[in-house]
């Protein structure tokens, strides 16, 4: 190497990771997660540079990243070289790794609530590495912690020192995780999907914060994401992975402007766009197949806009003046009213989709839960089939409840891990006496599995045997067991990678066309809302601030708040599309 060429801060060379899966017939079984056919993953992270790892779920992004600080489970078997400042970390001792983690290499994960200790104040958690690695006294560590919280933009940092994680919002929790990661001034920050679950404005703030901190501290960052819009805005270089292999890598502008690999082009094509409204979203395999067909001179698939919905379709749900307040203790005997939802009104027609958008804390989810009386309202009316759902009791309430169902954001938490998929689908049908007997219910459950793209073998399996996208399909099938007329979808695709998200959105549109379902689609992703929605409701501080057709509202929003939401949408990939 010539004297004027600087070695990269981190060099991953021919990395392969296998997992021991137990013994079968006396033979130890291994599953290769990273690397294929003797070829491992290789890339460099130069100093003061952001390198992004992108790809679908299961592509090996996180396994690759967690191999660097050696945070893989005990059954992992990494091979190759991971060279950090001249040291091969795969050969480092446990003591060397302890000195390195939290000091020179730190991590920020997707779910801050799962990473923060719920029983300790955030100040104590941030101060811990300062005491362990930097040798600061408790007093000095506390002062440094306050400065770090101020640096990452947490309001009232001194008061927040003694706050517990559950007292902070998701965006504030992520800021705490970033403060903790930066406490010892690391040289490399590994950020694993740090903005996936955040709304667009908070996501924008976190991205700007990370970019600013990286520039000011001259550190390097390995950024893992399936969101190409985010990657296009924050990364200098990108590494595209699929099935444990690197498919393409290079400067982000070059890769996004002129991708050489068919998989990279497919990833870029899968994401919904604000400026394009196709009939169906492209999925990875379909896009690759379409490219091959086009190369062979065959006709391309239909990408026209969807047909307009029937504006005269009957109204299935009418909400008038819906309100929900929470009452918080204040002082010894007093209480304070927090108005989470205020005076929300709308109509939903058969076969139509109402998108509901807004920042975290705007009241979107509370509104959806109140419609179902999963949270009791404090005012308003919800008219369904000529009756007010909020006034019904007992058997009447139960009978109408089956016709309005909900699909939650997290399919990992919403499916009972002790139930097979068959039990999960049969339970609501038994409760509501759907079907003459279990044989008829089982036939219905199998038909629903097929309708959502799963085969009959899924019936006897447990949730942990399925991917996130498959679990969300199961959650949709469960909601359909009772033949609902209205589905409330609460961030139902926000945690899914772009290809699986496209599959689920296409499925929802197909089911709507076949069954005439009406959707209340709650999301912080405006591009997804643009694809699926006919009308959009914008919420802020529990109130509706704007309501219009999806195309009109997103093309020419009237309210400054809506314009701010649109301005926060990452568009790094679209500029090159």
Q: Which of 195, 200, 160 is nearest to 178 (CA)?
A: 195
- What is the structure's pLDDT at 348? 95
Is the per-residue pLDDT at 23 higher than 90?
A: no
- CA pair distance 337, 508, nearest whole angstrom: 38
Under the banding of pLDDT at 50, 70 and 90, the label for residue 575 is very low
Count of all residues that appear for the chain in the document: 577
> CA triplet 259, 6, 90: central angle to 5 degrees?
80
Structure tokens at 304: 């026209």
- What is the structure's pLDDT at 303? 53
Structure confidence by residue, pLDDT tens digits, 264-304: 988 888 878 777 778 888 888 888 888 877 777 765 555 55
Structure tokens at 468: 């996130």
- What is the structure's pLDDT at 572? 61
Mean pLDDT of 101-126: 88
Mean pLDDT of 389-395: 86
Is the per-residue pLDDT at 548 higher than 50?
A: yes
**Phi/psi at 539 (5° precision):** -115, 145
Structure confidence by residue, pLDDT tens digits, 127-152: 998 998 888 999 999 999 999 998 88
Is the per-residue pLDDT at 520 higher than 90?
A: yes
- What is the structure's pLDDT at 307? 66
Burial, 33: exposed, middle or buried (Cβ in 10 Å; 0-12, 13-18, 19+)?
buried
Mean pLDDT of 172-191: 89
In 195-271, DSSP assigns E strands to 220-225, 237-242, 245-251
Find out whether 64 and 41 touch, Cβ atoms under 8 Å.
yes
Percent residues over pLDDT 70 in the chain: 94
Quick count: other Cβ atoms within 10 Å of Cβ 259? 21
Find out whether 220 and 49 touch, Cβ atoms under 8 Å.
yes
Is the per-residue pLDDT at 538 higher than 90?
A: yes
Quick count: other Cβ atoms within 10 Å of Cβ 122? 27
- CA pair distance 463, 410, nearest whole angstrom: 12
Structure confidence by residue, pLDDT tens digits, 423-466: 999 999 999 888 889 999 999 999 999 888 888 999 999 998 88
Is the per-residue pLDDT at 510 higher than 80?
A: yes
- CA pair distance 485, 512, nearest whole angstrom: 10
- CA pair distance 211, 75, nearest whole angstrom: 35
- CA pair distance 305, 555, nearest whole angstrom: 16
262 versus 572: which is more confidently predicted?
Answer: 262
- What is the structure's pLDDT at 571? 65
Under the banding of pLDDT at 50, 70 and 90, the label for residue 3 is very low
Mean pLDDT of 482-495: 88
- What is the structure's pLDDT at 287? 81
- What is the structure's pLDDT at 398? 81
Paired with 87 in beta bridges are 84
- CA pair distance 504, 305, nearest whole angstrom: 18
- What is the structure's pLDDT at 2? 45
Mean pLDDT of 530-551: 92
Full 3-state SS string of 366-380: HHHHHHCCCCCCCEE
Q: Supply the mean pLDDT for the chain.
A: 86
Q: What pTM was estimated for this model as a whole? A: 0.80
277 versus 511: which is more confidently predicted?
Answer: 511
Among 248-252, 255-259, 507-511, the range with the most confident prediction by mean pLDDT is: 248-252
Quick count: other Cβ atoms within 10 Å of Cβ 453? 17
166 versus 226: which is more confidently predicted?
Answer: 166
- What is the structure's pLDDT at 223? 94
H helices of 239-358, where? 252-257, 262-270, 284-295
Paired with 355 in beta bridges are 521, 536
Find out whether 123 and 143 touch, Cβ atoms under 8 Å.
no
CA atoms within 13 A on the CB side of 2: 2
Handedness of CA 304, 305, 306, 307 (dihedral sign): negative
- In eight-state DSSP terms, residue 34 is E
- CA pair distance 75, 29, nearest whole angstrom: 11
- What is the structure's pLDDT at 574? 54
- What is the structure's pLDDT at 78? 93
């Amino acid at each position: 190497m010539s004297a004027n060429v600087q070695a990269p801060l981190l060099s991953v060379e021919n990395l392969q990771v296998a997992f021991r899966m137990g013994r079968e017939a006396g033979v130890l079984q291994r599953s290769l997660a990273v690397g294929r056919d003797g070829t491992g993953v290789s890339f460099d992270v130069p100093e003061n540079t952001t390198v992004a790892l992108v790809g679908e779920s299961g592509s090996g992004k996180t396994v690759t990243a967690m191999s660097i600080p050696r945070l893989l489970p005990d059954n992992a078997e990494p091979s190759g070289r991971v060279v950090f400042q001249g040291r091969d970390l795969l050969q480092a001792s446990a003591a060397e790794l302890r000195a390195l983690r939290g000091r020179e290499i730190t991590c920020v994960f997707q779910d801050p609530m799962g990473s923060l200790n719920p029983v300790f104040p955030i100040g104590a958690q941030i101060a811990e590495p300062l005491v362990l690695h930097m040798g600061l006294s408790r007093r000095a560590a506390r002062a440094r912690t306050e400065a770090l919280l101020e640096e990452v933009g947490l309001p009232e940092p001194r008061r927040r020192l003694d706050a517990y994680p559950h007292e902070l919002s998701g965006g504030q929790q992520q800021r705490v995780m970033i403060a903790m990661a930066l406490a010892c001034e690391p040289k490399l920050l590994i950020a694993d999907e740090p903005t996936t679950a955040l709304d667009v404005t908070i996501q924008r703030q976190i991205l700007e914060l990370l970019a600013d901190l990286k520039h000011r501290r001259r550190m390097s960052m390995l950024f893992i994401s399936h969101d190409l819009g985010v990657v296009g805005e924050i990364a200098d270089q990108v590494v595209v992975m699929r099935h444990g292999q690197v498919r393409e890598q290079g400067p982000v502008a070059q890769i996004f402007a002129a991708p050489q690999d068919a998989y990279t082009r497919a990833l870029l094509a899968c994401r919904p766009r604000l400026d394009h409204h196709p009939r169906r979203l492209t999925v990875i395999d379909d896009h690759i197949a379409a490219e091959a067909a086009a190369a062979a001179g065959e006709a391309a698939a239909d990408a026209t806009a969807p047909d307009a919905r029937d504006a005269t379709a009957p109204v299935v749900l009418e909400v008038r003046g819906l309100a929900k307040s929470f009452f918080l203790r204040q002082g010894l005997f007093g209480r304070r009213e927090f108005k989470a939802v205020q005076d929300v009104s709308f109509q939903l027609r058969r076969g139509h989709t109402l998108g509901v958008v807004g920042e975290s804390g705007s009241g979107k989810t509370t509104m959806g839960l109140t419609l179902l009386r999963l949270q009791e309202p404090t005012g308003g009316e919800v008219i369904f089939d000529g009756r007010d759902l909020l006034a019904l009791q007992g058997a009447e309430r139960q009978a109408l409840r089956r016709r309005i169902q909900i699909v939650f954001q997290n399919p990992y938490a919403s499916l009972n891990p002790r139930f097979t998929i068959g039990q999960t689908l049969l339970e609501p049908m038994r409760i509501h006496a759907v079907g003459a007997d279990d044989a008829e219910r089982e036939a219905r459950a199998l038909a629903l599995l097929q309708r959502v793209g799963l085969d009959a073998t899924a019936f006897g399996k447990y949730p942990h045997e399925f991917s996130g996208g498959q679990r969300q399909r199961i959650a949709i099938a469960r909601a359909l067991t009772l033949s609902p007329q209205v589905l409330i979808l609460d961030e139902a695709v926000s945690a899914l990678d772009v290809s699986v998200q496209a599959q689920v959105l296409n499925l929802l549109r197909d089911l709507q066309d076949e069954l005439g379902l009406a959707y209340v689609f709650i999301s912080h992703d405006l591009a997804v809302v643009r694809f699926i929605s006919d009308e959009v409701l914008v919420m802020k501080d529990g109130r509706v601030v704007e309501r219009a057709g999806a195309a009109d509202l997103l093309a020419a929003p009237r309210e400054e708040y809506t314009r701010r939401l649109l301005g926060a949408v990452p568009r790094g990939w679209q500029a090159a599309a």
